[in-house]
Amino acid sequence: MKNGMVINNRYKIINKIGEGGMVNVYLSHDNKLNRLVTIKLIRLDFKNSKKAQRHFKYEKIAINKLNDSHIVKVYDVGDYKDNKYLVMEYVPGNDLKKYIQKNYPIDLKTVIYIMSQVLSAVNEAHKNGIIHRDLKPQNILITKDKNVKITDFGIALMDNLLPLTKTNSIVGSIHYISPEQILGKAITKKSDIYSLGIILYELLVGSVPFSGDSPVNIAMKHSNSNVPSIIRSNNIVPQSLENVVLKSTAKNPDDRYDSVIQMKDDLESSLLPERKNEAKLFFKVNSSNDFDDDKTKILDLNKDYNYDVNNNKTKKLVLVMLGLLFFIILIILLMHFIFFSKVQVPNVYNNNLKTAEQKIRKSRLLSTKVIYRHDYKLPHNHVIETIPKANTRLLNHSGIKLIVSDGESNIKMNNYVGKDYNKVYNSLIKMGFKVNKIYNYNNYFMPNHILNQNILPNTKVNPKKSTLNLVVSKYGKPFDMANLVGMDENAVKNYINKNHLKANYHYENTKDQPNGIVYQQNPSAGLKIQGGYNIELWISKGSMGNDNLNHSFNLSLTVPYKDTNDERGNKIVIYSNINGKGLSLYETMFINKDTKINIPYNLKTNEKIRYEVYRDGELIMK
């Protein structure tokens, strides 16, 4: 869903703010009611999923029954291009998981303030016969003012829709799930209380109580282990507050609080002085020694039960229990193979999209997102890369993003003037441009920087069909100026081009020089110059009468050096009428000793030489 799109002429997409298991979440603007809203949209790969559509339906039914300021409101459910969407209240801020990560350790009064709001919201749901079943910090939103709202009632259990919302599968998030949910037993309001206890633990400690190598390992800890000591991790927590966690997370639902309100009252009084010396609560963990027909147990096969071999009923019971245990182990192993074994991401580079998705499915992975990107090497709809990359090992049925070429297309030309040629050349070649490098010899710009480009910026071009000419600055190597006097014009121009010089040509009638021959130059032969240097050349147009002819000669001057603190030496500026006109700048230089200079003149018979020489701004010769 692109930014700026409008759903059903009402909801304008602003930007994507989240991504869930089956949905994408967008910040949007309700053009009709002029307010910000959150839109959940079923992802394209789950578009036809009845499970995803059912979650949308039940979330709206559940929340519409509730009226609490700490529960996110649902405004609308609709269809857009055969896809379901859910319009909800927009809550500025973050989810509680991110809040804990950013702000831990959290002041105890703040913990109680946040948790009390959560408990009030869950109590409202319980009063209306709704069990959330997926309480976790990621489903709790919190604003800057620490006001919280619960969301995501998609898998809630509702009394009046019990046959529809009750399933035989395990639902919930593995780090917050109650032992009875793991064992597939009846889910009650006390199952939510267990999850609330785990959330309170995380607020106090900064992390979840149980972690492991696999979901099965974490699930076993929820069933068989008490939560670790909070006080050892956070010694400012009093025993009375830790006891709230211990009671709400007891393995046996009968040991937990009878209601959310009871837990809330106990929590809000936990910091009172009279509870300062409260004793630590202890609750029994499920043991294989407990044997009762309505409880799930793990048989201790090493224990001698002294069964009477003649007692058929006892034998049958043992066989049934062993068969049930074997079946449970088989199911766990099968689930581990299907969902938790690792597979390798296939290499689908340059495969078309359909073939790539088939290979991914055969590898027991899911193609969850397709992102199109310009690529000038691969045709349209061919895979550029996968995220994660090929050969990465992932859990079964993990999601893969495909980066796919949108083929040849026109792009807007960038402005490369002033940039380093070496830094842009490779990217231009990857785009598909043919690049021509043209040197400009000069001393004014950094070497290897682009001075000009033949395709103007912002022009739409197809790189594969375009040649880009880049004019690049280059310093010439110093060399001695040749004596060009006496050479013909063609030979001189070859010399100019070969050495990357710039020349101004003056054509004059002379008294005794043949047509097309150089009779004067500036600078003089033997001076150090380099590529990009400007030189002056006088070329004869042939002889004519003596009246008013140009005559050429060199004036030699010695400029005296004067001590200075400038590391460069004396700055010398020379003005001259070298072509018989008024004074103009002839040359600027720095000298570190007495220096001889030559000024070439080309004057008519009735013109006189003129010059002025300044040293560090002071006129010293004229």
- Catalytically active residues are 134
CA 328/CA 33 separation, integer angstroms: 54
**What is the chain's length?**
622
Give yes or no for a contact between 251 and 179, defined as CB atoms under 8 angstroms apart: yes
DSSP H helices in 132-279: 162-165, 179-182, 189-205, 215-224, 230-233, 239-248, 260-268
CA 514/CA 507 separation, integer angstroms: 12
Both tokens of residue 109? 């009064």
100-136 per-residue burial string, b: 16 or more CB within 10 A, e: under 16? beeeeebebeebbebbbbbbbbbbbbbeebbbbbbbb
Number of H helices, E strands in the chain: 14, 32
Examine residue 137 and say whether the peptide bond preceding it is cis (omega within 30 degrees of 0): no
Both tokens of residue 465? 């069909």
Torsion over CA: 151, 370, 78, 16 (sign): positive
Identify the three-state secondary structure at position 339. helix
Specify the amino acid at residue 604.
Answer: K
CA 477/CA 426 separation, integer angstroms: 27
- Name the residue among 504, 533, 508 with its Cα closest to residue 519: 508
Give yes or no for a contact between 108 and 271, defined as CB atoms under 8 angstroms apart: yes
For the chain, the first-to-last Cα distance in angstroms comes to: 79
DSSP 8-state assignment for residue 437: E
CA 622/CA 597 separation, integer angstroms: 14
Rounded to whole angstroms, what are the CA distances from 247 to 207, 271, 282, 350, 509? 19, 16, 8, 58, 114
Give yes or no for a contact between 489 and 518, defined as CB atoms under 8 angstroms apart: yes
* Strand pairing report for 434-441 and 467-474: parallel
Q: Name, in order, each residue with C-beta under 8 angstroms of 54's C-beta and a sequence gap of 6 or more.
A: none
Strands (E), 421-567: 434-441, 450-453, 460-461, 467-474, 479-480, 502-510, 518-522, 528-529, 534-543, 550-559
CA 94/CA 132 separation, integer angstroms: 20
Specify the amino acid at residue 363.
Answer: S
Alpha carbon 449 to its chain centroid, in Å, reads: 30
Q: What are phi and psi of 604, to 5 degrees?
A: -80, 165
Angle CA 9–14–19, to nearest 5: 110
Give yes or no for a contact between 344 and 398, defined as CB atoms under 8 angstroms apart: no
